[in-house]
A and B are shown apart, each in its own frame.
Chain A
Amino acid sequence: MPRLGIDLVDLEGYVCCPAFGTFPSLDEDAHLAVSAWNLSLGEDKGVDLLVECGSCYSSLRLGRALLARDEGRRERVNVLLAKAGKHYEGKAKPRHIIDVLYHEVGVDRIRESLESTLAGTHAALQHPCHTLYPSEVVGFEESPAAPRVLGELVRALGADVREYSREHHCCGGAGGFRHSSHAEAYRYTRKKLDAIRNETDADYIVVSCITCLMHLDEAQKELSGNNGDRPIPVFDYSQLLALCMGFSPGEVAAISTVSRDRVTERFAAV
């Protein structure tokens, strides 16, 4: 990010965002106090929060929206925060990484930063739901029904984007679905992976959410087993960007279940 003109500072004393299955499922004041805790860390440093994980992003945005909607909530949360010597005003904004890359850095600067490209490769997209809905709370696309940002960013790396029928569906890996109904959740994911395999010649899937990344990657092991399905490597957008900027695969794309060698070998030689 520094090479793209975005300076990053670590926030000290950060806690879980909170994930929706935790305090937001227990108590509203606890939920908002934890959201405000994290947001206040950015506010104190005068910075916005850069987030990659879809549900961290959505949780922080919803927390901020709920606090903005109701002064009573803000007052209660500040009474709680005062116990820890903290205060919340709502100045720091959570921003998703593809929003920042597209709207702040821009595709031109991204193109200029590349040492190699993905020209000649085909990508299937997994749009992060948590950056689309509800658009009034989390949105940065012109239309959440026709998101363009991730595709534009992938094209900036030289790849061709392949559309498929279940492109706008959830990955199936978030929240309680995968835990409460394992077989059904994997069947849901299978439909997406089958659509990518049957309808496209995609060499890889591009996501921008840690849950999509882990789930689409790990689910292939369980779903494909021995039945010969074509494995499709999964990358977070920032991994592909870093590879094209000249970082080594061992540094930025080492951890995965489905082998990424077919894609990363083109960078090893650079």
Chain B
Amino acid sequence: MTALSEANLDLWRDLEGGDVLRICLTCGSCVSDCPASEADPPLLIRTLLRMVELGLEDNLLEEDTPWSCVTCSRCEEVCPMDVRPFEICLALRRWQCRNDSTRIPLSTTEIYQRGYTQPVDRVEELRRSVGLSGKLPVITADPELLAKFQAMLMEIDVIRDHDFMFKG
């Protein structure tokens, strides 16, 4: 546990959208209809938001539960204060990635390399079997455009700093 005297009370400033946390009523509506609140361990978004407010950095870095979110955004609809808990959940994941590179989703390196996480260019046979055209006009069909896409992403700090992961 982190002693409150050692907590980083400015932590909310490091999260995009974090300023609205100060108006959170901690009512728990966000958790009440959250599918991933039934996960093990449960995703308790209200608790995570409180941890950000209290500045409990070390505990938050260890938290895997933000990654259990189903992205359904019910919490955003029911929040009476428009805190946008789902967006803060994503911001929390980004903050973890910035502070712990082992959190960087490998799926981002797949998109960098071939535009998609799903192998969409490898389903030609299945597509033909149901009468669809084989080739899809996705980015891998245009290597020059893919190179431009990759150059664009390389402008982003967290990607350039971990280019060994992205260039594969």
Contacts and interface: CB of A to CB of B under 8 A. Distances in A.
A10 B152 contact: no
A34 B111 contact: yes
Interface string B61-77: 00011011111111011
Interface in A213-270: 250-252, 254-255
Contacts of B100: none
A11 interface: yes
A25 B111 contact: no
B77 A28 contact: no
Contact of B39 (A23, A132, A181): A181
B128 to A, nearest CB: 12
B105 to A, nearest CB: 6
Interface residues of B, number: 57
Q: Secondary structure at chain B's binding surface: helix, strand, loop or mixed?
A: helix
A34 to B, nearest CB: 7
B39 A15 contact: no
A26 B66 CA distance: 13
Interface residues of A, number: 59
Scoring A26, A33, A137 by chain B CB atoms within 10 A of each residue's CB, the highest score goes to: A26
A255 B141 CA distance: 26
Given A13-B139, A255-B130, A26 B152 contact: no
A27 B69 contact: no
B153 interface: yes
Contact of B68 (A20, A29, A180): A180
Contacts of A21: 67, 71, 105, 107
Complex A-B, nearest 6 residue pairs according to Cβ-Cβ distance, in ascending order: A84-B148, A181-B39, A134-B76, A129-B72, A175-B70, A25-B93
